[in-house]
A = this chain, B = another copy of it.
Amino acid sequence: MVDPRPGLLAAMRIGVFGTGVVGQTIATRLVELGHDVVLGARDAANEKAAAWVAATGERAGHGTFADAAAHGALLVNATAGLGTLAAVASADGADLEGKVLIDVSNALDHSAGFPPRLSTAPGDSIGEQLQRAHPTVHVVKSLNTMTAAVMMEPARAGEGHEVFVAGDHDGAKTEVSALLQEIGWPESHIRDVGGIEAARGLEAYVLFWVALRMALGTSEFNIAITQQS
């Protein structure tokens, strides 16, 4: 039998938490790649999610966070960091157990105006909070260091730039790396930065990203690591 998706991963069922720009951009790309995606919201009747399904076609579905968790063999958290723990906690524990959860969230608190602050305490991060709250889930922090369009279409930020993965489970990081490569990230620019505690750095970086975005006048940029050759 001929592989129907040569060079690509086998089609997966994926649950994406969050119906904002980040969740929709990720979900749309994953559907384009042939995966079956359920977009999860607090409310099963979420209008943005329903509109996304109508626009995206047969491999797209929507429901509650719990529905998305039940659907996905792989999960993506694209909720805002302040809502992440509640969103993931609303899923049935049995629907989370042993699954890879890519945490794209950022710990940004906009309540005191611009620039935003981190909502987490020093020495903590949303990624670690998620991992502590759900010890059987394999949390991989990734993709939170750039705008959604660049996450899913790396060429929009030029060439040679980086995406980072952090997590305690090597197999989960390998699985996320395979998905990132399918999305279009070169393997040599998928950088493993260590265990889930590295999420502190990845989330803190975003305060710097905000300053860069203001200075550059665009969100469509990223960073490359340079070293002496």
Contacts and interface: CB of A to CB of B under 8 A. Distances in A.
A140 interface: no
Interface stretch (A32-40, A175-183, A206-214): A206-214
A211 B201 contact: yes
Contact of A223 (B115, B166, B225): B225
Interface in A205-229: 205, 207-212, 214-216, 218, 220-229
Copies of this chain in the oligomer? 2
B115 A122 contact: no
Q: For chain A, what secondary structure do more than half of its interface residues adopt (helix, strand, loop), or is it mixed? A: mixed
Interface string A2-18: 00000000000000000
Nearest to A122: B117
Interface residues of A, number: 47
A228 B198 contact: no
Interface stretch (A43-51, A60-68, A87-95, A150-158): A150-158
Interface stretch (A22-30, A129-137, A186-194): A186-194
What 10 pairs across the A-B complex have the smallest Cβ distances?
A: A201-B208, A201-B211, A117-B122, A158-B226, A205-B208, A204-B204, A204-B207, A198-B211, A161-B226, A223-B223
